[in-house]
Amino acid sequence: MDFVPRPENDFKEFIEMYYYSCRRKFPKLQAIAGKWTFEDLIPGMSDFDTRLICSDDMQRKDWGELAKVVGEVHNDLCVHYPKWDRKLEHLAGVNMTWQELTIPGLYYTEFKQWSVYNCANQKRLRDFEETMEKRPWDDTDEYYHLKRFLTFFGPYIRGIDPAINLGEFENKYPLHSRFMHYFTLPVQSAVSIITKKTIKGKFEAQRMAKKLFPGMDIFDDLFDAVQKHYEIPELYSEPLLGELEKKLHDSLISISEALKEHITILPKEILADTGKWKKYISEYTIDPRFKVLDATKFCRFMKERLRFYANAPEHFDSKWLIRNDLNRMRNNIFCVPYLTYWEIFMGEKKDDPDELVPRMVPDILTSEEAAVALEFSKLLSKKVTEGEEIEKALAVSELFDGFLSGLEKITGRVKEELSLKKDIGG
């Protein structure tokens, strides 16, 4: 195999350009963060999971304005820097104010895995970091990490993680996918559960796992592969590729055995049978208000995300990304929040959110918002197939403002229930 050597690490340049390009146009933007730590950003292979933090005086119209700014900057960088296609795979995901980051009901375990790279308000940054440091581990964190462990627990499924926007480094992705996505993420969550502390970095978690499980040499295999930038030709073909997949899976099985002594949210009677964990965790009762907010926290920039995908330059591959987003969108941001809202405030469990929408007029929704919600549901009721991605993405983006208007009323009611003015621990 012919490999292109590891490129220079230009993530710092990318992050700064992204942040200051947006901030010049929108001063209420005060910080840019990303998941994991800087050492986890592997040049040529990693994308960048952007998180933006804004001042506390943000209004609804401000979020719309910022979304447009970010969409414009994102597209402009993609046009002028094709080498950054991988980094630009997603618009910023979870975007919040400083206050929202420290409200008990809005706490999200992922917050503890953010690294803030540029910030215009150092005092608020210190407050945020101190709040996260002081917040004790609880069932919310264990649920988050156990659910994520189980998402990746199993043999590697070939074809599940296509190589997208990797350019000249595409032929290295098979090893990156196996080592850093489908193995490292569950290891990170397992170590978090065992230590009762959310581990921020991927490599940090692997180093800790090596100490926790001294009999496993898979961690040395991972460090060696990354150090060589996956330039290990023999691992890309059989039998060694299959042997690697088995070794990764066997290691996760061994880790799951160790987890049994540290899990507290599963009934003791099912701990011995890992096959029952996933079914139980899918039915695990968390605060339903949290389910609403968890389902909707990624929505603020979704319209511009879809518009970027639909209008991206030719060198950026967006088709699979559109299908991936749209094929889970109806359940995630329509079915879950609407059905859960009805259960919380009306005391009834229902299966069909379409049935509920008209009954929410006029107490919660206007007739226009209800109509848009139903149209949104109908548009996404069928799986998006190859060839219709651009058309569907644009159609959904046109509906999104009206849909988000209704969704914000639902989440607003939930936030009121959570006494948002309280500080964590208050």
List pLDDT tens digits, range 275-295. Answer: 999 999 988 877 888 888 877
Contact (Cβ atoms closer than 8 angstroms) between residue 95 and residue 54: yes
- Residue 157 tokens, joined: 């499924």
Residues 82 and 116 in one domain: yes
Residues 105 and 148 in one domain: no
Report the C-alpha gap between 423 and 426 in whole angstroms: 5
Q: 263: closest CA among 101, 116, 141, 158?
A: 141
Write the DSSP string, 355-390: HHGGGGTTTTS-HHHHHHHHHHHHHTSS---TT-HH
Residues 20 and 117 in one domain: yes
Q: Which of 66-80, 171-185, 222-236, 407-421 has the lowest mean pLDDT?
A: 407-421
Residues 189 and 127 in one domain: no
Report the C-alpha gap between 152 and 171 in whole angstroms: 23
Whole-prediction pTM value?
0.94
Residues 80 and 174 in one domain: no
For 221-239, b/e burial (b = at least 16 CB within 10 A) is bbeebbeebbbbeebeeee
pLDDT over 80 at 180, yes or no? yes
pLDDT over 70 at 370, yes or no? yes
pLDDT over 80 at 163, yes or no? yes
The predicted pLDDT at position 327 comes to 97
Contact (Cβ atoms closer than 8 angstroms) between residue 62 and residue 271: no
Most confident of 53-67, 98-112, 294-308: 53-67
Report the C-alpha gap between 210 and 214 in whole angstroms: 6
Contact (Cβ atoms closer than 8 angstroms) between residue 135 and residue 175: no
pLDDT over 50 at 424, yes or no? no
**In the structure, what pLDDT confidence band is assigned to residue 106 with cuts at 50, 70 and 90?**
confident
Peptide bond into 239 cis (omega under 30): yes
CA distances from 417 to 35, 226, 362 (A): 29, 47, 20
The predicted pLDDT at position 418 comes to 67
Report the C-alpha gap between 283 and 261 in whole angstroms: 21
Mean pLDDT of the chain: 95
**In the structure, what pLDDT confidence band is assigned to residue 317 with cuts at 50, 70 and 90?**
very high
Residues 117 and 145 in one domain: no
Higher pLDDT, 104 or 115: 115
Three-state SS at 32? strand
Single residue among 232, 260, 282 that ends a domain in this structure? 282
Single residue among 73, 107, 135 that ends a domain in this structure? 135
Residues 130 and 143 in one domain: no
CB atoms within 10 A of CB 358: 13
Number of domain units in the chain: 3
Report the C-alpha gap between 105 and 165 in whole angstroms: 37
Report the C-alpha gap between 113 and 165 in whole angstroms: 25
- Which tens digit of pLDDT belongs to each residue from 218-266? 999 999 999 999 999 999 999 999 999 999 999 999 999 999 999 999 9
CATH code of residue 374: 1.20.120
Give percent above pLDDT 90 in the chain.
90
Residues 93 and 49 in one domain: yes
Strands, sheet with 50-54, edge to edge from the N-terminal-most edge strand: 95-97, 50-54, 29-35, 114-119
Residues 272 and 374 in one domain: no
Residues 123 and 144 in one domain: no
Contact (Cβ atoms closer than 8 angstroms) between residue 292 and residue 409: no
Contact (Cβ atoms closer than 8 angstroms) between residue 285 and residue 140: no
Residues 144 and 272 in one domain: yes
Residues 88 and 153 in one domain: no
- Which tens digit of pLDDT belongs to each residue from 30-54? 999 999 999 999 999 999 999 999 9
Single residue among 282, 302, 319 that ends a domain in this structure? 282
Contact (Cβ atoms closer than 8 angstroms) between residue 197 and residue 137: yes
In terms of C-beta density within 10 A (0-12 exposed, 13-18 middle, 19 or more buried), how is residue 367 classed?
A: exposed
Contact (Cβ atoms closer than 8 angstroms) between residue 302 and residue 393: no
**DSSP H/E element including 264:** none
The predicted pLDDT at position 380 comes to 97
Q: Can you give the residue range of the structural domain that contains 399?
A: 287-426
CA distances from 63 to 89, 205, 240, 322 (A): 21, 35, 49, 22
- Residue 164 tokens, joined: 């997208």
The three-state DSSP-derived secondary structure of 381-396 is: CCCCCCCCHHHHHHHH
